[in-house]
Structure 1
Amino acid sequence: MLRGVYPGRFQPFHLGHLSVIKWALERVDELIILVGSAQESHTLNNPFTAGERIEMIRLSLREHGIPTDRYYIIPIPDILMNSVWTYHVRMYVPSFSKVFARNPLVIRLFKEAGTEVEIPPPYNREKYNSTLIRKMIILNEKWEDLVPTSVSIFLSNIRGIERLKELVGSDKR
């Protein structure tokens, strides 16, 4: 059985992430979706908890008919030592032989650790970009068509849109 890893923060999960997962699942039997920076939440860069991101991903994969026996979703906290990060990852996840990543640091670290890395297509990164989506939410711009419908509904249900807008607020008046 061939198993791969796809790391990301998924803040929020968007259609570009979904495209990478579909692409990766054409190359492996099972995919470990690694929810990085799991300890982070309620900040502008990481507004959603690991649990909320796991729910977004599960809802999206269900919405798009991806069977649950094809993937794992595992949260992993950051460590502040890049040189041992890949070993840290391996402590949290089932065994794997391949990594799917576009992040240059992630690619370098896994290559140095002797793990095969495949770089997925960019899937319109200018449009499907979590930083941009968070900014669009804050500025009341149309962002809903950049995420799976289930993510848009989920963010509304957890008041995630309000959370993001409040995070940019200031107590200085």
Structure 2
Amino acid sequence: MPNTTTDTITVTKKDVTEDKGRFSTPKNKKGYQYDYLVFIGRFQPFHLGHKSVVDEALKLAENVIMLIGSANLPSSIRNSFSVEARSQMILGAFDNKDAKRIHCVGLDDALYNDTKWLQYVQQCVKSVTGDLNANIGLIGHSKDSSSYYLSLFPNWQSVAVPNFHELSATPIREGFLLGADPLTDTVPQSTADVMKAFKKTEAYKRLHEEAGFIDKYKKQWESSPYPPTFMTVDAVVIQSGHILLVERRSMPGQGLWALPGGFIDPKETLFDACIRELREETRLKVPEAVLRGSRHSQHTFDDPYRSARGRTITQAFYFMLKNDPKGLPSVKGGDDAKKAFWLPLAELKADKLFEDHYAIICKMVGL
């Protein structure tokens, strides 16, 4: 699963099933069905539904590995809490004896690249177990596509935890960022404590402002008979091992690096829109005819969660500019861009880039 999207958990304590049979695996020396059970999620924040899954895992396994997703992404209204903060939420929800059996490990996203994400999962699990052939299982819920990872690891048995008590982290997080206090009937006290402490920080203040911006943005479409779907374009421009980026001038993602791009106009093609946005935001000193002739490829990126503004599909165009002994073309930020700049590919950082732009670059360029 390239993007760890487990926000909703459905739990039953009386109907836990294993796809290969509860008793198909011999118990270990301490009487547990598994040496390790792995639970993958974003836990933004860790709530009582998540805790119920861990409670079940502690009954079945000697150790529980919590793979905390989206570890490499910048702080945003979707990814508000750091790996460290989420680890505190998780470990603080259990007594010392059980907490010592829980291992929290940050798991990077690899959106649009399942193979790389599976590699990340294997590496994270091995960092705890030391051996991928150990007695390992996966635990999660079989409610929706966000947990399809349960079927991706044929060497590990999976424990599916279906319906009993449904909770979603999304309304808890969104309400909190809009100013509400966390409710202890939805989250453990440890989570409430971490959230209350976070509320006093400058990071919370920034996210609170951005959450308000997004809330007002979405209210513009409240009278629409259907939820809107937006179409945008992005330009991936490469020359001599450098990529052309902009720094965002305003919310959402103010101050983050981004690909040049934006919304299409009603009467233009996607490619024309990309050329226009590229020239408006970067003032790239390359003739338009050369740009058009430098198009290498294009790809659609449509992850449903890629934008906080709502359902947004983008078409990315990859431009390969020829090496020039005179150096890189001059650029200057314009329109929605505070500045434009060339960045060596070696200095790309996922936690500096807006939305899914890092994943787009990796997919288009082959990083």
Following superposition, the deviation at residue 142 of structure 1 comes to 6.0
Residue equivalent to 2:151: 108
Residues 29-82 of structure 1, C-alpha deviation per residue, up to 9 Å, x if partnerless? 1110111111124212111111111121122224xx552331211111112321
Distance of aligned partners of 1:140 and 1:109 in 2 relative to their CA distance in 1, 3 Å threshold: same
* SS of residue paired to 1:10: coil
- 1:78 matched to which residue of 2? 109
Equivalent residue for 1:131? 170
Relative to structure 1, is the Cα distance of residues 164 and 15 closer, same or farther in structure 2, using a 3 angstrom cutoff? Answer: farther
Residue aligning to 1:52: 85
Q: Give per-residue Cα distances to partners, 1:2-50, cap 9 Å, x unaligned.
A: 2110111110011111111001111111110111111124212111111
Q: How far off is 1:84 after superposition?
A: 4.4
What is the CA distance between 1:136 and its match in structure 2? 2.6
1:90 aligns with 2:122: yes
Residue 4 of structure 1 aligns with which residue? 37
Change (3 A) 1:154 1:101: same
Any gaps of 5 or more consecutive residues in structure 2? 1-27, 29-34, 214-249, 252-367
Compare CA radii of gyration and give the structure with the larger one. 2
Partners of 2:88 and 2:190 within 8 A in 1: no
Secondary structure of 2:94's match?
Answer: helix
TM-score by length of 2: 0.41
2:63 corresponds, among 27, 30, 45, to 30
Higher relative contact order (CA 8 A, sep 6+): 1
* Contact 1:41-1:48 within 8 A present in 2 as well: no
SS in 1 for 2:60: coil
Q: Which structure has more helix as a fraction of its residues? A: 1
Q: Deviations over 1:74-108 (max 9, x none)?
A: 11111232134333211122245200022442123
For residues 130 and 66 of structure 1, do their structure 2 counterparts lie closer, same or farther at Cα, with a shift above 3 Å needed?
A: farther
Measure, in 1, the Cα distance between the counterparts of 2:175 and 2:108. Answer: 27
Alignment pair present for 1:67 and 2:98: yes
Q: Does structure 1 residue 13 correspond to structure 2 residue 46? A: yes
2:195 maps to what in 1? 155
Q: Do 2:57 and 2:139's aligned partners in 1 also have CA atoms closer than 8 Å?
A: yes
CA distance in 2, matches of 1:39, 1:32: 18
Three-state SS of the structure 1 residue aligned to 2:64 is strand
Give 1 or 2: higher strand fraction: 2
Distance 2:69 2:38 in 1: 12
CA distance in 1, matches of 2:85, 2:164: 24
**What RMSD, in angstroms, separates the aligned Cα atoms of the two structures?**
2.4
Structure 1 gaps, min length 5: none
1:40 corresponding residue in structure 2: 73
Paired position in structure 1 for 2:210: 167
